[in-house]
Amino acid sequence: MFDDEPQVASKPVEDIFAGSERSGGRPLRPVAPLPSVSAQPDIPQPARVAWDEAESSWRKYVPWIGVGVVALALMGGAYWWFVMRVPAEVIPPPAVDNTTPEQPAVVPPDNTPIKPPPPTDSDGDGIPDANEAGYGTDPQNADTDGDGLFDGEEANMWHTDPLKADTDGDGYPDGVELKNGYNPNGPGKVLPEIPLPQN
């Protein structure tokens, strides 16, 4: 590669500071000239890769990529402007007819006993409103003492006090004791442990 170039004879280096004043120190000595290019050993050159072809094929897509990015940005901006500018359609709730339709009176056949309506239980705790006064519980609160058990569960199933959160006074609310398997009426478990058969 460099063998085809003409040989340049080395010239002495010109001292550009020759006419300037010196500020003491040692006199400058001339620098040795660099060896000529032909004096360098032959270094194998790597094979030339056709980068020019790759660069030219890549560069022809750059404007199209730019146009695509700008087009996407414009479409996104237009969508955002449309969505933010146009208010959402407000759909009014359907009209509710609070009137009760008239139903024909049911006349039972003769000799058929009429069942009384079920007792009213406003709080759904399992004790009818008429009986809640006898227990001293609140007919509008399903868990009067706040222990985690409904008033009806305490009075009818577990036989605990629906007005006292901790019936046995051990420091744990009745609902917590039952969830963990303990008796809310006293010491011990709700169900005794059944021994497993030995093999």
Q: Could you state, in order of their start, the residue ranges of all structural domains in the chain?
A: 51-83, 129-179
Interval 87-117: pLDDT, tens: 667 777 777 777 767 777 766 667 777 788 8
Give the separation between CA 160 and CA 167, rounded to whole angstroms: 6
How much is the pLDDT for 72?
95
Question: CB pairs under 8 A, 24+ apart, for 148-155?
Answer: 148/173, 148/174, 148/175, 148/176, 148/179, 149/174, 149/175, 149/178, 150/124, 150/125, 150/126, 151/123, 151/125, 151/126, 151/127, 152/125, 152/126, 152/127, 153/125, 153/126, 155/126, 155/127
How much is the pLDDT for 60?
79
Give the separation between CA 184 and CA 172, rounded to whole angstroms: 8
Structure tokens at 171: 């420091």
Structure tokens at 90: 């407000």
Q: How far is CA 54 from CA 32, 40, 50, 64, 123, in A?
A: 44, 33, 7, 17, 81
Q: Which residue has the tokens 């969505």?
A: 83
**What are the residue ranges in the chain where pLDDT is below 50?**
none
106-124 CB burial, b ≥16 within 10 A, e <16:
eeeeeeeeeeeeeeebebe
How much is the pLDDT for 37?
55
- Does the reported pTM lie above 0.75? no
Give the separation between CA 163 and CA 136, rounded to whole angstroms: 7
Amino acid at the residue 199? N
Write out the H or E segment, with its range, that includes residue 51: helix 51-59
